Amino acid sequence: MAYYLHKIIFVALVVAIAVPSSLGRREKSDLENDLRDLCSQTNKTKKCWNIIKSEFSRFSDADGNKGVAGVVIDLAIAKSDEIHDKLNQLYDDSKNDELKEKYLSCSKNYNDASRNLDLARRNLDSDDYRNISVQIDDTSDELKSCKHEFKKDSFDPAHIRNRNKEFKIYVEIVKVATDRLLQENDQPQEGNIN
């Protein structure tokens, strides 16, 4: 009798430990498929997947399209802040007045891009999705302004063009993720009569 009681307690403990950890989380394969689908909707599928894959663990607690959108916005903000900091450092270190002017201009663009993404994140968190696409479009405009500073023939020793291309991928991922959320939000809910 004690043997069976011991065995029942052991099984109950295993179930008690295993079940809560799997509740509320999507299976890794489902999450991976969803994120691969997200990347397939961008113009740079492979580069998108490389970004997502390197940050895959951040998506484990993402709940649906809203959670995924929040994570990709956070990634884009971090990348924008990183580039902004680099531009400020380049400005401080440069002896070339023409480059300093370009670095300063782009630094302002990236500061504004981060602000726009932060506003999009706040709108997302407050379930106010109306202006998210405007904030993402404004972020794209800031990126275009910086890209204009470093045209193809322009002197670019710090490879800002490459940083702009990289950030463009982040912005595109955000656009796709938030568009998916907006489309989901526009769908009539089951059980509702329109």
Domain ranges in the chain are 38-186
Find the mean pLDDT for residues 44-54.
Answer: 96
Which residues make Cβ contacts (< 8 Å) with residue 173, sequence separation at least 6? 38, 39, 42, 48, 51, 52, 72, 75, 76
| Gap between the Cα atoms of 176 and 72, Å rounded | 10
d(CA 76, CA 79): 5
Return the axis-axis angle of helices 28-40 and 160-186, rounded to nearest 10°: 110
Residue whose structure tokens are 């959320």: 181
How far apart, in Å, are the Cα atoms of 171 and each of 8, 74, 141?
Answer: 53, 11, 11
User: How many Å apart are CA 24 and CA 57, to the nearest integer?
Assistant: 15
- The pLDDT of 136-148, averaged and rounded, is 96
Dig out the tokens for 10 from the structure: 């052991």
42-61: average pLDDT: 94
Cα torsion angle, 171, 130, 67, 184, sign: negative
Residue-level pLDDT at 36: 95
Q: What crossing angle do the helices spanning 45-54 and 28-40 adopt, rounded to 10°?
A: 140
pLDDT band, residue 186 (cuts 50/70/90):
confident
> Is domain 38-186 given the CATH code 1.20.140.40 in the classification?
yes
Q: How sure is the predictor about 87, in pLDDT bands with cuts at 50, 70 and 90?
A: very high
Helices vs strands, H then E, count in the chain: 7, 0
Winning range, highest mean pLDDT, from 4-8, 91-95, 148-152, 188-192: 91-95
Q: Mean pLDDT over all residues of the chain?
A: 87
| CA 137/CA 131 separation, integer angstroms | 10
